[in-house]
Chain A
């Protein structure tokens, strides 16, 4: 009890690393995921095939295996040697999460009804107008719930960085538990609460975004 109270700064620093990892990984995954979905739904068949294979391969691989690849496999190839662990963690999370982002965005695109684009073309809108005024606004709105799911799951997945020596929240919990065998349950609840707060904050932000973007149909 005293230990976790007097060393509460360690708990906070753990969650600070978790948040940094989550923020930059989310950013990276959104960018790569958007590129992947552009390839996947685009007219160039070779790129579509490439993006589809990437998505299917990575989605069926456990995140832990990708962590082993980046943290143990890449040094054998002289890649990312001397890179800070945080950056390596972000690279790993981005490799793993971008296919899920791609699929969430694709779900959004697929939810736009064909008639919407046809009507836009019928009244003479150009490709750019159709995209920016009709298709994408609807697709982005529809992607918010699945994207939020992906980001929440990703934030929880950052805990796996603990296995590879990043002192984020889960690693901190292990440290505290090793030192204070009597307070295990309290320590677990403190860290669980930290994650719950982050998860609820993300879902709250998504809810606000959805409400703001809601349209009358």
Chain B
């Protein structure tokens, strides 16, 4: 953040700078008091005892958590890979010249983006998952695929639309066919600017794998549940789970930022609005900062 040239404030003078310095110190004192207070509060509630934290330094449980973590990543990756295929098909469908392809594609995309993912997962699990069905793992993965695929379809469409129209026009002018224009001219360029948005979608998918909790799917939260039902250390388990998710997502975000810088340059990451807002994606991109996905 460049200080001084802000839309909100004028360049501060010496007196204002002094005042800000005083606020800084006051806020720091408040923060430290808060943290110390939190420490004493947790201590008074007996949350800092070794027994409560023991599972997380016990090798067996660390291995179990690691395995849960790998399952979670596996679910997210499988879902995103399937979603990519689903998304490209729907995205191309939405850009089709034929109304009978365009409308159903748009309807499918709208539907899966408007329905809560958990509702979808519960439906898939109870209808196709239980008994001799596909099981909870694949219920979650299929649910994630349908939802993320629909979001990716929008990202994909935004990526194609973000290309200069001259690209397609030039390709048509040299006599290429529609399929050729899409596969040799538009797709390769669009994919390049889509990659960071796809990685960001991995963060969303990774967070959403936790919904498998409701249908007893394996993964990090499931391991967490078995630990806290055994040791009654809910608070500590939540902190460890959160930390594992945060670190993983942070690494993914770093990769997305790096890829963005390396392959896309200065332009903002592609953004699409929530369901019902599909025509406003440019408005979001104009807003200038990455606000991430909820």
A interface, CB within 8 angstroms of B? 41, 43-48, 50, 56-57, 59-66, 68-69, 72-73, 75-78, 97, 100, 103-104, 106-114, 116-117, 121, 127, 131, 135, 142-143, 145-146, 148-150, 152-154, 156-160, 162-163, 169-170, 173-174, 177-178, 184-185, 188, 191-192, 195-196, 199-200, 202-204, 206
Contact = CB atoms under 8 A, between A and B. Distances in A.
Contacts of B31: 46, 50
Contact of A68 (B207, B208, B238): B238
Interface residues of B, number: 70
B91 interface: no
Q: Which 6 A-B pairs have the closest CB atoms?
A: A203-B276, A153-B294, A103-B291, A107-B287, A152-B274, A159-B116
A76 B234 contact: yes
A213 B142 CA distance: 41
B284 A149 contact: yes
Given A60-B245, A170-B116, A110 B238 contact: no
B118 A162 contact: yes
A148 B272 CA distance: 12
B177 to A, nearest CB: 37
B213 A72 contact: no
Nearest to A204: B276
Given A109-B7, A192-B115, A154 B238 contact: no
Interface string B1-18: 100011111101000000
Nearest to A79: B45
Contact of B294 (A46, A100, A108, A200): A100
A170 B126 contact: no
Given A109-B8, A170-B122, A177-B127, 5 more contacts: A65-B241, A73-B237, A112-B7, A146-B273, A200-B114
A110 to B, nearest CB: 5
A33 to B, nearest CB: 11
Contact of A107 (B6, B20, B288): B288
Given A65-B210, A145-B277, A152-B274, A184 B241 contact: no
Nearest to A50: B31
A78 B47 CA distance: 11
B123 A76 contact: no
Given A43-B20, A100-B292, A145 B287 contact: yes
Interface of A is mostly: helix
Given A61-B245, A65-B241, A68-B238, A159 B294 contact: no
Nearest to B290: A103
A64 B224 CA distance: 12
A65 B7 contact: no
A123 to B, nearest CB: 13
Contact of B24 (A44, A66, A121, A169): A44
B293 interface: yes
A153 B274 contact: yes
A114 B24 contact: no
Given A43-B20, A76-B45, A148-B274, A163 B214 contact: yes
A163 B217 CA distance: 13
Given A44-B24, A72-B238, A184-B123, A156 B116 contact: yes
Contacts of A148: 273-274, 277
A35 B288 CA distance: 21
B250 interface: yes
A45 B12 CA distance: 14
A22 B284 CA distance: 23
A65 B221 CA distance: 8
Nearest to B293: A153
A103 B31 CA distance: 22
Nearest to A48: B1
B123 A146 contact: no
